[in-house]
Structure 1
Amino acid sequence: MPDEMALLVADVFEAAGLLRRSGEAIAATEGQTQARWQLLSVVSEEPLTVAQAARRLGIARQGVQRVANDLVREDLAAFRSNPDHRGSPLLTLTPHGHHVLERITVRAAAAHRVLTADIPGEEIARARALLHRVIEQVHRHEADGRTPPG
């Protein structure tokens, strides 16, 4: 009998790769990259430090710092003072950054509608619910300080 969890993990990685390529193509229509789009998106709701944004994205702070600097140079984002920590400024979107993010988001929504045209919304909701359960289990396992058996 196949290890269903191993197969699910492989499928998730395959889907992530395909969706990342699709995202790169969508972001490129606005002269951006997937990494820039992700950072624009994560700081669009509230200004964050680079370290906070990196944690939310699950990637290294150094990589986020490079992308943040690029966004600032292109006037898509700006650093502003952080009242809670003078050494860690907050990254926030500029009006131009909000505009670019909105254009990318509209393109992505159209692509998502095409990709899911033949998939009922209930199936997508069930898949998301399962992924959330797996994510919660992994977080719980990590919080307990356990290493995976094996």
Structure 2
Amino acid sequence: MADEMAMLVADVYELAGLLRRSGEAIAAREGQTQARWQFLSVISDDGLTVPQAARRLGVTRQAVQRVANELVDDLLVELASNPDHRTSPLCRLTGDGRRILARINKIAEVENRRLTQAVGAEVLKATDRGVRSVTSALRGQW
């Protein structure tokens, strides 16, 4: 049993690395990085503060702040007043930010369809169920 778990961990890390490289390649087609794409995506609905975005992305606030600052400088994100916290503004997409995000997401849709055809939808569904089960079991540990 331990061998199966060790193998799964190794395979998941390998898959995560490949997905990061794929994400970088997809985002680069629009002059962005995966980190910038993830941030644009996570704030796309209602806007979030940097600490909220960091929690959702599972990364440090400092890393998200750096990306947010770059995107503000590039006019893809704007800072809006936050009625819930005077010193922590909401990050929101600008019109250009929405357009860039939409174009990146279109590229990702094409790649996702290609991968689904290559692997098969049933394999992906079963894998997702398995990953969610392991994730749920791990969450119960802490």
TM-score by length of 1: 0.90
Match of residue 134 from structure 1:
134
Q: How does 1:41-60 map to 2 (within 5 A)?
A: 41-60=41-60
Paired letter, 1:84: D
Residues 18-68 of structure 1 deviation map (CA, whole Å, 9 limit, x = unaligned): 111111111011000000000000011221110010011000100000000
TM-aligned CA deviation for residue 136 of structure 1: 1.5
TM-aligned CA deviation for residue 7 of structure 1: 0.9
| 2: CA distance, partners of 1:136 / 1:67 | 30
Match of residue 111 from structure 1:
111
| 1: CA distance, partners of 2:8 / 2:48 | 33
TM-aligned CA deviation for residue 119 of structure 1: 2.1
| SS of equivalent to 1:117 | helix
Match of residue 8 from structure 2:
8
TM-aligned CA deviation for residue 2 of structure 1: 5.9
Gaps (5+ residues) in structure 1? 143-150
TM-aligned CA deviation for residue 137 of structure 1: 1.5
Match of residue 74 from structure 2:
74
| 2: CA distance, partners of 1:4 / 1:45 | 39
Match of residue 98 from structure 1:
98
Paired letter, 1:60: T
| SS of equivalent to 1:48 | coil
TM-aligned CA deviation for residue 116 of structure 1: 2.3
- Asked if 1:34 is matched to 2:34, the reply is yes
- When the two chains are superposed, the root-mean-square deviation of aligned CA atoms in Å is 1.2
Gaps (5+ residues) in structure 2? none
Match of residue 19 from structure 2:
19
Paired letter, 2:67: V
- Asked if 1:83 is matched to 2:83, the reply is yes
TM-aligned CA deviation for residue 82 of structure 1: 0.7
TM-aligned CA deviation for residue 5 of structure 1: 1.1
TM-aligned CA deviation for residue 9 of structure 1: 1.0
Aligned residues with identical type, % of pairs = 56
TM-aligned CA deviation for residue 120 of structure 1: 2.1
TM-score by length of 2: 0.95
Which structure 1 residue ranges, 4+ long, deviate > 2 Å from structure 2? none
TM-aligned CA deviation for residue 134 of structure 1: 1.3
